[in-house]
Structure formats: structure tokens, C-alpha cells
Amino acid sequence: MTKRLLIATNNQGKVAEIKAIFTGLYDELVSLKDIGLEIETVEDGDTFEANAMKKAEEAFQASGIDTLADDSGLCVDALYGHPGVRSARYAGESATDKENYEKLLDAMKDVEDDERTARFVCTVALVRAGKPTVVAQGKCEGVIGDKPVGGGGFGYDPCFFLPEYGKTMAELTPEEKNAISHRGKALERMRQILDEEKE
């Protein structure tokens, strides 16, 4: 019997990142689009964990397939942790990545360099039949740049500068990003938990 994992997202960037890390744990990794499931979870939780669990549970109920969902966002210290859980909707419900990061850069235009600290946070939740839900979190520290740089990644990546690399997240290769990103760390932690279950 083929062991399938549903990745509960329509974001193809996320699908690619998750597939790269979860290869070997499941025989087949599919997205909502792959199985023709149209589902738009209302992300009304106050935390990344609440939203990730809600997304995973709704897609699992609709599909019957083991389901992994994530909720992630950018928490900026000078903005009291915002945009946080509203990162994808920071500039409006149907805002583009560019509109979101332009609003962020505008909000940060008068903030001094040493106060531009921020972190990406990701929580992943895995819902399975007859097994406990598993949750894992990852973080990646950085600073908000003063302009977008780089053509890779998605979301706020062009504005998120990593001092130890001297680059923004959008300038990293996919392999470099997976090794240090908040989502990469959360997924690696999830993979460890699942590997330990097998032992």
C-alpha cells in the first residue's frame, strides 16, 4: 500500500521545500492541487500552532490522507511582533508578496539599523489516522533590510537579511535556504520525531 502525505497548501514554493526534506518518509507527497481538493482554511488562530493544526485537520477530514500543514510568518521586534500570524495578509486579504514587503519596508523606513531585528517562525502540524497529532517549530533570526534584494524564495525573503551570510534569504540557493530556514528547521524536527517513532 502506497503511503501518501498530503501537503495542505496551494503555495508551490512551500511544496518544493517540504518535498526536499520529507523525501523517503512517505512514498508519495501530494499537494491540494495534485488531488483536486479546493479548501481555504480560515486562518483565525492567534498563534502559528493554532493555524497549522486547523489547516491540517480540515484537509485531513476532507481527504482521509495523512496531512501536513504549516503556518509561518515574520515577527519584527520594532513592530511588536507584527506582521506575525497575519504575514500573508499584511497589506490586505489578497495582497501579493511584493505588496506585503513594500508595506513592511515603509513601516520600517525610520527604524535604526540596530533595531531592525526580526525572525521567521514556522510551526508544522501533522494529522494522521489513529495517531497523535505531531507539532514542531523552527525559527530563523535576521534583520530587515532597507530594500528588496534577490530573486529567489518567496514572501518576505528579499527583505530578510542574514548577517552571517551577508545575503538576503532570496539570494540563497534552495539547498542553503532549507538548511537554515524556519521551515527547514521545523520540518527537520518533525522528521526527527517521525524517525524516533519508527525505532
- The residues annotated as belonging to the active site are 71
d(C-alpha 33, C-alpha 6), whole Å? 10
CA 84 to chain centre: 12
CA 12 to chain centre: 12
Residues 165 and 120 sit within 8 Å (Cβ to Cβ): no
Residue 115 has a CB neighbour count (10 Å cut-off) of: 12
Residues 116 and 143 sit within 8 Å (Cβ to Cβ): yes
Instruction: List the one residue out of 155, 163, 75 whose CA is nearest residue 113.
Output: 163
